[in-house]
């Protein structure tokens, strides 16, 4: 996998994490408008933590949810899922910085960096899935109450924070997939390792054989070797 794809996945996942962090405290998870006359028009909007209301005169009031135990079960679950998504995203962001091949953090061993990048990608995918489940679950309850003719409470519509959260979750999943695709490639060798010997030479060394070159004989040595025999030995 090219370094460009890996870097692209890292920044896309980081953008998704940033958008998830913006989605969580956003007040416009669900919105309801109560129409009366021009003066008494009210807009009510809520998120996972508080509910707010404003009228046409600009009067703005918010109040926190009184007790966590008094909340609906899906709101408590959405809180836990969103916080888990952000924590997983931060951990994946840290491992992604270490695992990027374009950085010198974590040493020069590229196979180790590939594993760290794959783990970071998996964490970003989990973060995106947690955010997607939380926001989809919240939106499902909004639409269920809205189309229920017997529901006695205030009927809400989908707020802009939900669309922001869906986009953030998709970006986190896409960035995680780009980082995880790094593990599909074979691990590269350590560039700091020593140069390997050719195949034949290494094969000879591994088998315990050694090639010894006999020193070349000089002319004097040649004459001495013939000197062992008399010059008149051959006629």
Report the pLDDT value the prediction gives residue 72, as an integer from 0 to 100. 85
Tell me how far apart the alpha carbons of residues 179 and 122 are, in angstroms, rounded to a whole number: 8
- 159-211 pLDDT, tens digit per residue, is 999 999 999 999 999 999 988 886 665 444 444 443 444 444 444 444 444 44
Cβ neighbors of 2 (< 8 A, separation 6 or more) are: none
The reported pTM is 0.72
CA 50 – CA 155 distance, rounded (Å): 17
- CB neighbourhood size of 10 (10 A): 26
The tens digit of pLDDT for each residue in 77-90 reads 999 999 999 999 99
**CB-based contacts of 188, cutoff 8 Å, min separation 6:** 110, 111, 114
Domain annotation for the chain: domains and CATH numbers: 3-28+72-184 (1.20.140.150)
Of the candidates 173, 181, 172, the one whose C-alpha atom is nearest the C-alpha of residue 14 is: 172
Contact assessment for residue 182 and residue 50, using Cβ atoms and an 8 Å cutoff:
no
């Amino acid at each position: 996998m090219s370094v460009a794809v890996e870097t692209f996945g890292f920044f896309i996942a980081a953008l998704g994490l940033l958008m998830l962090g913006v989605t969580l405290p956003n007040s416009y998870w669900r919105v309801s408008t109560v129409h009366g006359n021009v003066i008494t028009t009210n807009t009510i909007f809520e998120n996972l933590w508080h509910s707010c209301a404003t009228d046409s005169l600009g009067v703005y009031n918010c109040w926190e949810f009184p007790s966590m135990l008094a909340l609906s079960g899906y709101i408590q679950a959405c809180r836990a899922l969103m916080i888990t998504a952000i924590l997983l995203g931060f951990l994946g962001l840290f491992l992604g910085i270490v695992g990027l091949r374009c950085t010198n953090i974590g040493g020069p061993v590229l196979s180790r960096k590939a594993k760290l990048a794959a783990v970071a990608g998996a964490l970003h995918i989990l973060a995106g899935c947690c955010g997607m489940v939380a926001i989809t679950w919240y939106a499902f309850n909004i639409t269920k109450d809205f189309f229920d003719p017997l529901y006695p409470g205030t009927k809400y519509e989908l707020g802009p924070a939900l669309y922001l959260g869906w986009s953030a979750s998709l970006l986190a999943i896409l960035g995680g997939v780009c980082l995880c695709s790094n593990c599909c490639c074979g691990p590269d060798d350590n560039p700091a390792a020593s140069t390997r010997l050719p195949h034949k030479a290494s094969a000879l060394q591994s088998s315990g054989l050694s090639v010894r070159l006999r020193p070349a004989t000089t002319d004097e040595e040649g004459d001495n070797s013939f000197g062992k025999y008399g010059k008149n030995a051959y006629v």
